Structure formats: structure tokens, C-alpha cells
Structure 1
């Protein structure tokens, strides 16, 4: 990752963004001047402002700081080659402001000024927003949107389950997996136990067949349970409101499930065109969902990180060590891209099932009394170093080669795996 300093730029600019307008603090280099202005958030206004900077500082770079890593403002400014975008954590600006305004007074221009000061004093510590290719940016958003939609479906599923328990708990036993169309369509067709009991056996069998539920034993057990089930309550004051709520929620749930299917198809098509696909397909336990997420986590720019530790820190996987006097303690890295950290942690958890050494490491740490979450984070830390090497050399991961390397080093991990 290229290191920048103040002298690389003709001017330093801080932007305090808002929905309708942006407050600007502009500091031409080698001057004592700070110029303040306000521009509207409309695309036309942003373009006019960006081009005015190009005319004022021809053939020169301008450093722009903002408390964003993505969003409309970043998307609008990223296309201008004469602007270098730096991201500053909002908490850094807030803490800087508190240090010099104990009254906690806040006004927008001062935040823009603070960003310029941070640029001036700490530019080498800031992250530069370096846009990936359009294909990688698109895939990045797709996998993140999918994760959000899946979480929405989980939340909705929990609401449906809670409402069904109030009047129709049997259906939760008939369908163990809730994120299925057969579950949704069954409830929409037979929204209460009374409705289900009136259905003929052949009607139920036809329904299951239509939804590709062909296990005769499972279907027979369902039908038997439907016919013999006893209502939890016959109070229409309980049944009717909950039935209506469930019908509304299930209709939404079904839309989300269809959306996930659509996203999966688009992600699959976008992922298979990536040259680095072979690397991330080789990772144990990555699978259809996590392999694309891991690919965009690394990106395609091999110069983005100087070493694995930069990615470990950026992703929030590397722990933070603090010292005060004779005391030393380690804690979770609070400020990081949450989705990126989730990606590595989730994959590390899955890798235990598919990687010999990952499972051995997990069991080794568990025998030492380490908690599950700490072991998974530590495992993710190790995996990033391994995958970084594969990514830099453009070579797929090979478990047998890694085990051979552990053997050559006389790693105690292999001894633990053999003894266990």
C-alpha cells in the first residue's frame, strides 16, 4: 500500500457530509489559509465542485478526507483521478473534537477542519480508498447485500415462529427447516390447525409432491400428526390476530427467500468470471457462499497490502494489546469493517470440519481451556496469513503441502493431532 505525505498534494480537504449538503474545509498546501464552503449533495453540484478543484490545481493531486468508506458521496468522488480519498473513522473525529472542545459543542465546519488537521498530522496512518475494478465492486456489494437479506430472513423467521407458538405450534414440528417454500406455502394454504385438519390425505400428498417433498415416511408422519393433533387454544381472540400476523409475515418471508435465490444466481455468475476463483475455491469449507466473500475481502489489487498483518489489522482479526504501567491486556479490535470480520470468522468456523490442521488446532486450544469464540478468532488470524500467501503467489491452497511444512518445522500441532 503506497504511503502518502502532505507534500504529495496541492491541497488538503475535509468533508463533513450530510444528506442534503456537505460542509467543506479546504487548506491549500504551504499556506495558512482555511477556506470554508457548502455544496449540495446533488450529483451536478459534486461534479461542478470536483472540476473546479481540477482547474484551480491543474495536474496536481488533492487529498480529500471523509468519515465514509462507501456510499453516494464516495461513489461520486471516486471517479475523479485528481482526488485521493482518505477515510477517517467517525470516532476519531469525535474524540479529537472532545479533546479541544470540552463543552462538547459541535458544528459542521469544525468537523471538516478537524479532518484537515488529522490529514496534516497523521496522513501516514490513514487508509486510502483505492477503488477495485467494477466487477469486484459489484461482487462486493452483492455478497454484502445477500448477507443482510439473509439476516432479515432470520429475523422474520423468528417473528413467525413466535406467532405460531401462540396458536399453531404443530406446524413448527412438521417442518424443521423454516427457510423453505414448502413451509411458507403450507401456512398460506392452511393457516391454522382447523384448516389443516379439513384437508384430505391426497390433497396433502399432492401438495408435498408439488414442492419436491418425496420422502414417503416423512409425509406420512406429517399427515398422521395433522389428523391427530390437538389445538393449543380455541380462543378466536388469540387465533385470529396471530393467524393474520403470520399470513402477513410469511408473505414477506417468501419474498425474501426468492430474493436470496436471485442474489445467489447473480453472485455465482459474477464469481465464476474472476481469475482468482481457483484460489478461493480451494479453501476448506469456503463453499458457495463464503468463497465469493473471501475473494472480495482480498480483492484483485496485489499491492493493496504490504503483508498479511495489514489485512489482519484492517479486518479487525488482529487483537489490540494495551499497556499501562506494569499491566498488559488484550482486547477485541473495536473499529473495523464488520462484514469483513464476519467473513473471516464465519469461514474459520466452517474450516474446522474440512481442514485436518484447523480441527487439530481447535482441539489443541480447547484442551487448554480457551473459549470457542477466542479459538475461532485465533484460527481466522492464522488462515489470513496462509491465504495471503496463496493470493500473492496466485496459487491455490494445498492442505497436503501445508501439513508437510508443519512436519518439517516439527510443529507440536501435528503431534497433538496424532496423539488425539
Structure 2
């Protein structure tokens, strides 16, 4: 017996609909979030399955792949296809064109979707607890880095509006020495009074080289003539800059703390040695790759499946006599960011990667397209290494390409 459940989730409740193989809808309910709601769902399924409860196969369609609710569904033995919201939206149009939408209607869409298209939907991966821990800290670490970049850009815009000399004096606004000096002197007048000793002290705290020369250059830039703003406006900007500096100091500290957590959790994972053996992957970048791919051994049936999930493989659009290969723009942003960074680093570490990139350039591809092709090849190599449990070997990894060139 097979039962198909559509679960339209919200923060505090779930609208569910149960459907059998013929499309009949024997049960609908709104369940509360948490243990009470999960218990009620089990009771509904058990009541419908009856004497066949132990042999019943339950598929639950839901538009998320994480959280305690999804984990509880998987733990209960249900098959949980994580439906992309875009897929659900397109499927809704097949059932009606009026544009009507409701939570109960969405539950019906999800139930019918898993009933008719379960074979084409990917079930939630059964990643290990170690991989989940790596994912949590790696994602938070990357999020904090993105937040630091955003706040640095806000600081840059603020300084440009009233203190352009600071942009000339400090190359890296989020660096420790820049933040220390801007905190001491956030107005042009205060900055012009900074001594060589104060500047040198900040540079030494940040462990900079050539302290004497850099201190002189920074002082000269801060004392150069620039267009200014009225005093009251300058003071207002300075207060805003002080707030941004405080946020950046906290972000810098937490990024460093989270990096230690990423290294600790990643180092405990069995696949860490294999991932770190590959060119261009260090501890942090390797942790991101592991976190986004997961470690469920049955999740990717082939290297092509892994490449498609990564978003590095192209898509084909063919109509009539026209056929083009295009880059995938629907992908996991965190994963593609890590893979392209790895590919760029591999150019100087792996002769095979360099040769692969140069061949793409020779075909007339630009830098980004060639780098994406290289990342696609590296994903295939990673799949082989993880599948066989072997470390990366330069000769083995690129032997196929070498034979193709020779031929």
C-alpha cells in the first residue's frame, strides 16, 4: 500500500493532505508544529493504512529539506522528496489556471505531485550527523563573511561621502589596523593629527610588514587636502562610521571563531583526507564542498548527477535547427562559489587543471566559462575519489584528457 502526503509547511503549522494511488483524498488536516503535530500525522497514516501499516510506503512532499520536522519524517521511515518551490508553482498551473492559491490547495498540489512524479523527484539525503555538523558551521562561517563584506561596502560608501582621504590611506577597510585607526580618528581633523607612532602601533598590532614606510604613506594620505563637509554633517557621519566599525570588529572576531569550529568538525569527518588531497581545496573550502554535497553514499548515482547538482555542467536548449549549450543559473550559490574558487586555485597547483583550462581558452571560451568547465571536471574527479575511497592522484585524474589530446 502506498500513501502520498502533501505537506505545506509554515512556521507554526502544517497543512497536510493524504492521497492514495488512485488520487482519492481520504484525509486532510492542519497540524501544529512540533511533537503534537507529528504524532497526529502518524495517527492519520496509521488509521488509513490499517492492518497494512507495517508494509505501507509513505511519501511526503514538502518544500524544504531541513529542520526538525523533516528529520522526524525521515526517522519515521517515510520517503521525503524535497520539492523545489519553483517546481510546485509550475505543477500548480497544471491543475488550474485561475491563479487561486491557498495552503490547503498547495498541500493538494504536493500530494498529487509525489503521487505522479515521485520517480523524478530527489528524496532528502540521509547525510551523517558529522556532515550535518560541518554544514551548520560552514554555512554560518560563510554567511558571516558575506555580512562582513556588506558592512565593509557600507563603510566605504560612508567614508566616500565625507572622508575620501581614508579610502586612499587604507587599502583594506575591514583589516584590523584600518579599523583601529578609524576608531581613533573617524573625522578628517582627527585623522590629520595621528602621529607616526600611533599609526605604527596599529600596523604592528595587525602584524604588517614594512611598518615605517607604510606609516609615513598613511599619514601623508590622511593629511592631504580633500573636499570636506560642514562640521555637523561630518560628526553625524563619524557616529555612523563608529557603529559600522563596532559591527565589523564583532564580525571579524566571530569569523575567526567559526573558522576554528569549521576546522574542528571537518577534521573529524572520514572523507576529509580525500577532499584535502585535491588541488585547490584547503580546510575551509573543503568543508564547504563537503557540507553542500553531503556524504550520503547513494545520493549521486553517477558523476553526471553530482555535476548537475553542483551546477557546473551546462544545459542544452534545442528547438528546430537551433541547439545551444548554456550555463546553469539555477544552482546552489554556496556550492558553486566554493567550486569556482577551487578551480581558480587549482590553476597554479595542478598541471592537469592548467592544461584543461588552457584547452578551453583555445576553443574561444572566456575566463568564466573556461573556469566553469574546469570546475565541472574537478567535480567528476571528486566523485571518483569518493566512490572508490582513494586520494587524488594527478596522473590518474587527467589521464583521460592526456589520451584524448594525444589521439
The equivalences for 1:321-400 within 5 A come to 321-400=316-395
Show the counterpart of 1:315: 310
TM-score (norm 1): 0.88
Q: Deviations over 1:189-233 (max 9, x none)?
A: 111221123233333333333333352344332454157422431
* Pair 1:402–1:310, CA change in 2 (3 A): closer
Show the counterpart of 2:70: 74
Q: Secondary structure at the match of 2:336?
A: helix
The alignment covers a number of residue pairs equal to 402
Show the counterpart of 2:405: 411
Show the counterpart of 1:62: 58
Show the counterpart of 1:48: 39
Q: Deviations over 1:271-292 (max 9, x none)?
A: 1111211111111111232111
- How far apart, CA to CA, are the structure 2 residues paired with 1:334 and 1:107? 29
Show the counterpart of 2:276: 281
- How far apart, CA to CA, are the structure 2 residues paired with 1:203 and 1:31? 76
* Pair 1:48–1:369, CA change in 2 (3 A): same
* Pair 1:319–1:300, CA change in 2 (3 A): same
- How far apart, CA to CA, are the structure 2 residues paired with 1:149 and 1:223? 29
Q: Secondary structure at the match of 1:329?
A: strand
- How far apart, CA to CA, are the structure 2 residues paired with 1:348 and 1:207? 36
Does the aligned pair in 2 maintain the 1:166–1:238 contact within 8 Å?
no
The reply on whether 1:35 has 2:27 as its aligned counterpart is yes
Does the aligned pair in 2 maintain the 1:46–1:76 contact within 8 Å?
no
Where do 5+ consecutive residues of structure 1 fail to align? Answer: 1-8, 416-420
Show the counterpart of 1:139: 134
TM-score (norm 2): 0.91
Does the aligned pair in 2 maintain the 1:193–1:231 contact within 8 Å?
no
Q: Deviations over 1:355-413 (max 9, x none)?
A: 21222222222233212222122112111111111111111111133355544x2525x
Q: Secondary structure at the match of 2:391?
A: coil
State which of 207, 211, 234 in structure 2 corresponds to 1:216.
211
Does the aligned pair in 1 maintain the 2:27–2:44 contact within 8 Å?
no
- Per mean C-alpha deviation after superposition, the further-off stretch among 108-117 and 120-129 is 108-117
Q: Deviations over 1:303-330 (max 9, x none)?
A: 2221101111122222221222222233
Task: Return the offset for 1:263.
Answer: 0.8
Show the counterpart of 1:3: none
User: Aligned Cα RMSD in Å?
Assistant: 2.3
Show the counterpart of 2:101: 106
* Pair 1:107–1:52, CA change in 2 (3 A): same
- How far apart, CA to CA, are the structure 2 residues paired with 1:171 and 1:178? 9
